[in-house]
Amino acid sequence: MKERKIGRRIFIIILTLQAIFELVIGGSLLIDLPATLKAGFGITHTSDFDIIGLALGLYLLLLTGLMILSIVWTIKRNFSGITLGIIIGVFLFLFGVMSFFKTGETGGLLGDSIRGVITVVFAYLANKELKKVNG
């Protein structure tokens, strides 16, 4: 009987796309904070933003690293990759919801929350597939 792997593959693809997205944004914040603030968020740069830009850029690189780790572990059929993916998905969901309540803008709610839910759903499907394969 052929092993069903579609949920795991989609989970890996979703995490890969998100890791690329986070890497680009995080790298942009670290390389050219003024341009990234203006283009991405419509915010005019002042020196007050420098430490926040550094922290946010490094945080996004850390998130990228965690996503890559989740991908590697999932490819190796390690349940830790699924668990880490679920944690990342829940984090993204909560970030989107909390940013909506804090700012009233729907961008985070529609972007991050939906990414988080999709990540958790496919992590769940990947988990079910791995349980069948690993017994």
In a domain, 17, yes or no: yes
Q: Which of 65, 42, 116, 51 is nearest to 73 (CA)?
A: 65
Domain tally for the chain?
1
Q: Return the closest-CA partner of residue 113 out of 64, 121, 80, 65.
A: 121
74 and 82 in contact (C-beta within 8 Å)?
A: yes
| pLDDT tens sequence across 44-90 | 888 888 999 999 999 999 999 999 999 999 999 999 999 999 999 99
Q: Sorting pLDDT into bands at 50, 70 and 90, what band is 2?
A: low
In a domain, 1, yes or no: no
The pLDDT tens digits for 7-32 are: 999 999 999 999 999 999 999 999 99
Domain of residue 79: give its range: 6-134
**pLDDT exceeds cutoff 80 at 92:** yes
Decide if 100 is inside a domain.
Answer: yes
**Using CA atoms in the order 128, 129, 131, 135, what is the torsion angle rounded to 10 degrees?**
140
Examine residue 15 and state whether it is found in any structural domain, yes or no.
yes
What sign has the CA pseudo-torsion 88, 92, 98, 103?
Answer: positive
Reduced to 3 states (helix: H, G, I; strand: E, B; else coil), residue 1 is: coil
Each residue of 93-102: pLDDT tens digit? 999 999 999 9
What is the percent of the chain with per-residue pLDDT over 90, rounded to a whole number? 73
C-alpha distances (whole Å) from 70 to each of 12, 18, 39, 64, 126 are 8, 12, 30, 10, 12
Q: Is residue 48 part of a domain?
A: yes
Residue 53 lies in a domain: yes
* 84 inside domain: yes
Q: Using DSSP, how many helices (H) and how many strands (E) does the chain show?
A: 6, 0
